[in-house]
Amino acid sequence: MKDGVRARLAVRVSAGCPVASLSTADADASAPMVRDVTWTRATDGQVTEEFRIPTAVAEACPDALADAEPVLTVGDDRVYQFTRDAGEACACEVVERLDCPVAEVTADDGELLLTLHLPDVGRLRDVVGELEGVAADVEVRYLVRADAADDGGRDPAVVDRGRLTDRQREVLETAYRLGYFEYRGGANASAVADELGINNSTFAEHLSNAQSKLLADLLVR
């Protein structure tokens, strides 16, 4: 069996995506506002997308739902559908074209959150690369590797990059790009700090805080 992965991608899409746009209409950030997003393609090339949101939100944000039709009410939620043309440059089209089953799709604060099950990290790189062609930004929020052997030495873990601040992420990415973590031949702390435009102590502080958060995900059970 291949060493499969479960990944959650945060895709910052264009303003033309109704689902993503709708997800900015709610001020409550405690949970994704738009849930259970699915789509199906008809023989005429039209794609029908469906999603559900709390009824209270639907009633408070009627303008955001102008292009969608209510289908039914389920408990405290309301289900909506809308149609779009196939072949549009959008994240849903990319995932469908790449033949990647989607375990879950939600939207929050203008981002589509896609949970995918993929055969390996290489396939994940392909998906991210394709999504970057139609999105403003693509971020791997978490990644879980499957344990290929019951008695093997692998220990799957979740690393939540969302815990990092933008600055901490920039420091880690710059340090990695310049080879700071390489045993030989990479940049030293001063070179990375210069690249970031900060002093050595500030670089060390950001790096330490970022590593502490990531190590907590890897080591704390």
The model's pLDDT over 13-36, given as tens digits with 9 standing for 90+, comes to 766 677 887 777 665 555 567 888
- How does the average pLDDT of the chain come out, rounded? 79
Q: Which pLDDT tens digit goes with each residue over 157-194?
A: 556 677 788 898 899 889 888 888 775 667 888 889 99
- The reported pTM is 0.63
pLDDT at 196: 93
The answer to whether residue 72 scores a pLDDT higher than 90 is yes
Give the CATH number for residue 174: 1.10.10
Q: What is the pLDDT of residue 1?
A: 47
Q: Is the pLDDT at 132 greater than 90, yes or no?
A: no
Together in a domain, 102 and 24: yes
Higher pLDDT, 147 or 45: 45
The answer to whether position 89 is within a domain reads yes
Candidates 150, 134, 58; CA nearest to 98 is 134
Structural domain of 198:
161-219
User: Are both 25 and 106 inside the same structural domain?
Assistant: yes
- Assign 156 a pLDDT band (cuts: 50, 70, 90): low
Number of domains the chain contains: 2
Q: Is 23 in the same domain as 102?
A: yes
Examine residue 153 and state whether it is found in any structural domain, yes or no: no
Q: What per-residue confidence (pLDDT) applies to 71?
A: 92
